[in-house]
Amino acid sequence: MDKFIENLDLSSKGIWVPISLGVIMLAYVFFMPKRLSWGEIYFIFCTTDYVAIVIDVFIMLNYLDVFDLGHDIQKEGIGDFISYAIIPSCYAVIYLNYFKQEKKWLYIVLFTILSSLSEWALVQVGYMKLKGWQTWWSIPVFIVVYGYWLPWQLSLLRKVQRSV
């Protein structure tokens, strides 16, 4: 049990930020007024989770090595998991739950700001250590994700649902 607790990497500086954000975001997803079905929420959450982990863990950390999370970079602790999987997936679900095509750019700007502030907060408390990356470099990525990928994903999902 001691090894399990140690592997959670709970002693990391600033770990309270990803844990707090993760808990708040998950609670919001559960209790927000739903325009998406639970099946759509599950699918969006899981696919966003997968894509975020592949990009952040395998590309940004292992190949490019542009940032580190947590205290022990050799361990993937609970804060790392929340930062890679829970927070981006919750943002995606909340974004698509409220998304309206006629207000597309308002939502893109709002969620790009929220996502950027979350990343900035992780850096400010010392949980995320940048190594050749700048926080503002994520802004174009967020714009592409919120402006194109997530709406495309939802429309594809709904098209598949209608054809089944």
This prediction has a pTM of 0.89
Instruction: State the pLDDT at residue 56.
Output: 72
Tokens of 138: 């994520």
pLDDT-wise least confident of 20-24, 76-80, 111-115, 160-164: 76-80
Tally the domains of the chain: 1
Instruction: State the pLDDT at residue 151.
Output: 96
Residue 78 has pLDDT above 90, yes or no: no
pLDDT-wise least confident of 12-21, 61-70, 116-125: 61-70
Average pLDDT of the segment spanning 134-149: 93
Instruction: State the pLDDT at residue 71.
Output: 62
- Tell me if residue 152 falls in helix, strand or coil: helix
- Tell me if residue 128 falls in helix, strand or coil: strand
User: How many CA atoms, within 13 angstroms, populate the side-chain half-sphere of residue 129?
Assistant: 9
CA distance 84 to 139: 17
pLDDT in tens, 19-65: 999 999 999 999 999 999 999 999 999 999 998 888 877 776 666 67
Instruction: Name which residue leads in pLDDT, 69 or 137.
Output: 137
Residue 93 has pLDDT above 90, yes or no: yes
CA distances, 94 to each of 33, 54, 152 (Å): 10, 21, 15
Instruction: State the pLDDT at residue 33.
Output: 97
Structural domain boundaries, residue 129: 2-163
DSSP string, 15-56: THHHHHHHHHHHHHHHHSPPSS-HHHHHHHHHHHHHHHHIII
